[in-house]
Copies of this chain bind each other. A is one copy, B any other.
Amino acid sequence: MNSTKDLFIGLDLGGTFIKYALGNSDAQLLIKGKKPTGADQPKEAIFAVIFQAIDELISQAEELGGRVAAIGFGSPGAVDFDHGRLMGNTPNIADWGDADIRSTIEGRYGIPLWADNDANVMTLAEARQGAAKGLKHVITLTLGTGIGGGIIIDGKLHRGVNYAGAELGHVTIKYDGEPCNCGGIGCIEQYASAPAMVRHYREKLSKSGKTALHRVTTETIFSQAKKGEAEAMATIDETCEYLGAALASILNIFNPQIIVIGGGVADAGDEFMQQIWNAMERRAMPPSLIDLKLVRAQLGNDAGMVGAIDLAAEMYYANGKVKD
């Protein structure tokens, strides 16, 4: 048995903050922190912030009598998992395009690193420590500014041959519908993301001759619906129908054990989740509903860090290292 405990760093790069944590091989977080990303800065400046975070965590690992065995990294954008680098640009971090995460960080520290898309990393966290703990056939759908997704089949993330799979926000729900930012037509992201909900709500208010009095967010819509406002309630009903149609496709394709809904919109509560279930149940083929769970994500803001540590630990041990 090794007397120096294997510890892992998890990094979660976002448009506003870099969140970072030190954890053990079960992705329990021992120490966590965050620093502003500086999303408008050049790549070198963003890596400098990342290096500070890693330096801190390496010292803290030593203080705890451990050593950093591997680093996991969740990034926005499409990530070439096998080479640990970005493919193309990310919308919210101007100069992060084509960032060579693995070679830059491994080159400096000599510690093995695995990088993946942030939606995949969060999916891994929910499947290993969160809402889908212990399950092997898992779908996650994250409802926010966009709609992200993750797919776990037989315990493994499905990335696609060019790492371009699991784009569950870009499932068609209307072949002759709204054009999407992705270049497609009628994607669920154009119907059930937060901006889509706000747009639909404003349209309904406008049709009723009303105007929204303040900045509208999805929270406004859910709180107005609780007060019984017809336009807010109709917006939520429609959103659930749209999600029901996309989820019916996903169920008929995968027949998973569980669907985990994450993102701000999912915080609306159990009633919203029940409405999504009802819409999905009306549309999906019955055998895929047997024993199916539809639940909210559990790990919240920690999901990116937890999942990055899961990724690092799993890849580290899969590469032949023995778990202590």
A62 CA to B242 CA, complexed, in Å: 59
* Stretch in A52-60, A285-293, A304-312 with 4+ CB within 8 Å of B: A285-293
Interface string of A179-221 (1 = CB under 8 A from B): 0001111100001000000000000000000000000000000
Which of B158, B170, B185 interacts with A153 by CB under 8 Å? B158
Residues of B contacting A322 in the complex (Cβ-Cβ under 8 angstroms): none
* Stretch in A8-16, A66-74, A250-258 with 4+ CB within 8 Å of B: A250-258
Structural contact, B160 and A288, CB atoms closer than 8 A: yes
Structural contact, B248 and A165, CB atoms closer than 8 A: no
Given A172-B248, A175-B174, A186-B245, are A255 and B160 also a contact pair (CB < 8 Å)? yes
Structural contact, A162 and B245, CB atoms closer than 8 A: no
A137, closest chain B residue (CB):
B161
Given A184-B284, A253-B151, A285-B183, are A246 and B162 also a contact pair (CB < 8 Å)? no
**Copy number in this complex?**
2
Q: Would you call A89 an interface residue if the criterion is a C-beta within 8 Å of the partner chain's C-beta atoms? A: no
Residues of B contacting A254 in the complex (Cβ-Cβ under 8 angstroms): 158, 160, 165
Which of B78, B167, B185, B257 interacts with A253 by CB under 8 Å? B167
Give the shortest distance, in Å, between A284 (CB) and chain B (any CB). 7
A282 CA to B251 CA, complexed, in Å: 25
Q: Would you call A86 an interface residue if the criterion is a C-beta within 8 Å of the partner chain's C-beta atoms? A: no
Give the shortest distance, in Å, between A220 (CB) and chain B (any CB). 25
A234 CA to B245 CA, complexed, in Å: 27
Give the shortest distance, in Å, between A235 (CB) and chain B (any CB). 15
Q: Would you call A171 an interface residue if the criterion is a C-beta within 8 Å of the partner chain's C-beta atoms? A: yes
A244 CA to B185 CA, complexed, in Å: 10
Q: Would you call A231 an interface residue if the criterion is a C-beta within 8 Å of the partner chain's C-beta atoms? A: no
Give the shortest distance, in Å, between A207 (CB) and chain B (any CB). 18
Residues of B contacting A163 in the complex (Cβ-Cβ under 8 angstroms): 255, 287
Q: Would you call A249 an interface residue if the criterion is a C-beta within 8 Å of the partner chain's C-beta atoms? A: yes
Q: Would you call A173 an interface residue if the criterion is a C-beta within 8 Å of the partner chain's C-beta atoms? A: yes
Structural contact, B253 and A184, CB atoms closer than 8 A: no
| Further contacts, 14 of them, CB under 8 A, given A161-B255, A173-B173 | A87-B287, A161-B291, A162-B255, A162-B291, A164-B251, A167-B253, A170-B248, A172-B245, A172-B246, A173-B174, A183-B282, A184-B252, A185-B283, A250-B253
Structural contact, B252 and A170, CB atoms closer than 8 A: yes
Structural contact, A160 and B283, CB atoms closer than 8 A: no
Structural contact, A165 and B252, CB atoms closer than 8 A: yes
Residues of B contacting A191 in the complex (Cβ-Cβ under 8 angstroms): 175
Given A161-B256, A254-B160, are A175 and B173 also a contact pair (CB < 8 Å)? yes
Residues of B contacting A241 in the complex (Cβ-Cβ under 8 angstroms): 175
A283 CA to B168 CA, complexed, in Å: 14
Given A137-B161, A153-B158, A242-B175, are A252 and B167 also a contact pair (CB < 8 Å)? yes
